[in-house]
Structure 1
Amino acid sequence: MKINWGTGIVIAIVSFMAFILYFVIKVQSNSKYDNELVVEEYYKYDADFSQEMQRVQNAHDLAQKPVITKTAEGITIVFPLVYDPKKIKGNVSLYRPSMKKLDFVTPISLSKPTLLIPKSKLVGGRWDIKMEWQYDGKPYLTKETIYIN
């Protein structure tokens, strides 16, 4: 049987489409490849963006900012001594881009100016830290990325 060039092109295109379709189905059906959204309620998140930018600007304008560092014990957040630790309220959200199941939120409730997030709660890799806090009724937002070994 002889195949002309038109039939060869059709066979090549169909083979290529089958190849691509195979990988699409494989990725969609395998739980190893997680296809989650970055933000659950995207439109609600987008509507609050201007308020978020104001909180980021408030944090940026501070003369003395909180310091987020990686230590041997975990992640340490140190607030400057000019702030009364009992008046600082808020949450620290730790977001793991590669796996949503590892995300968690820690409330800020201090008796001293240091907050420790223990290393036992943290898996190695990239962590996006979003610290939303208030002091004397003024909201602040601090964002940072830390890599844990």
Structure 2
Amino acid sequence: MPEDKKSAKGWPIGIAVFYASFVLFLLAALFLTAMDQDDLVTKDYYAAEQRYQEQIYRQQRTRALHEKPRLFFSDNEQLLTLSFPEEFPAASVSGTITFFRPSEADLDHTIPIELDDSGVQLIETAQLQKGRWKVKMLWQARGLEYYQEEVIVVR
């Protein structure tokens, strides 16, 4: 019988410990969520969304082309060849090529599109570090903007 009295006295302490633990958990959760920064990626997120929609339109225009610009990467020659189809005269094309390194943002760089008379641009890749690169082409022709991405791996 003395054991029943001992276990009967323990349950109020158990309940008190449970409630105290629950309150501490709630306070800790409140503190952690209050300290969490929910900064927006950009302050002008609405304008950024509009720009993103324009990017979608550029990609759709590129997909609708009968013949798209081609990138040919020769690792042996350390040369990237960009060639535009004949429907885009070289003089009417302007834009940029961005070499985007997903693993190291400091290596990203942008160069202008400068086609020769045959619609080709040769780009030396010797300065590119080994690894995966996204080549992002943004160009304008015939009053419209186009966008295309390709992945190359420098070995």
Shorter-normalised TM range: 0.5 to 0.7
Quote the Cα distance in structure 2 between the aligned partners of 1:133 and 1:92: 8
Name whichever of 68-77 and 100-109 sits farther off: 68-77
TM-score, normalization by structure 2: 0.65
Deviation track 1:37-91 (CA, whole Å, cap 9, x = no partner) reads xxx8584644411100000000000001100121123221111123210110000
3-state secondary structure, aligned to 2:113: strand
Quote the Cα distance in structure 2 between the aligned partners of 1:100 and 1:41: 18
Counterpart in the other structure of 1:53: 56
Counterpart in the other structure of 2:68: 65
Contact 1:74–1:122 (Cα < 8 Å) also in 2: no
Name whichever of 62-71 and 116-125 sits farther off: 116-125
Quote the Cα distance in structure 1 between the aligned partners of 2:108 and 2:42: 16
Quote the Cα distance in structure 1 between the aligned partners of 2:71 and 2:55: 19
Pairing partner for 1:130 from 120, 136, 150: 136
Distance 1:41 1:121, change over 3 A: farther
Quote the Cα distance in structure 1 between the aligned partners of 2:48 and 2:130: 28
Query: Within the alignment, does 1:116 sit opposite 2:119 as a pair?
Result: no
Counterpart in the other structure of 2:145: 139
Distance 1:82 1:52, change over 3 A: same
Quote the Cα distance in structure 2 between the aligned partners of 1:142 and 1:41: 24
1:109 offset after TM fit, Å? 2.1
The aligned runs of 1:32-43 (5 Å cut-off) are: 43=45
Aligned residues: 110
User: % of aligned pairs identical?
Assistant: 29
Counterpart in the other structure of 2:96: 91
CA-based RMSD: 1.8
Which has the higher Rg, Structure 1 or Structure 2? 2
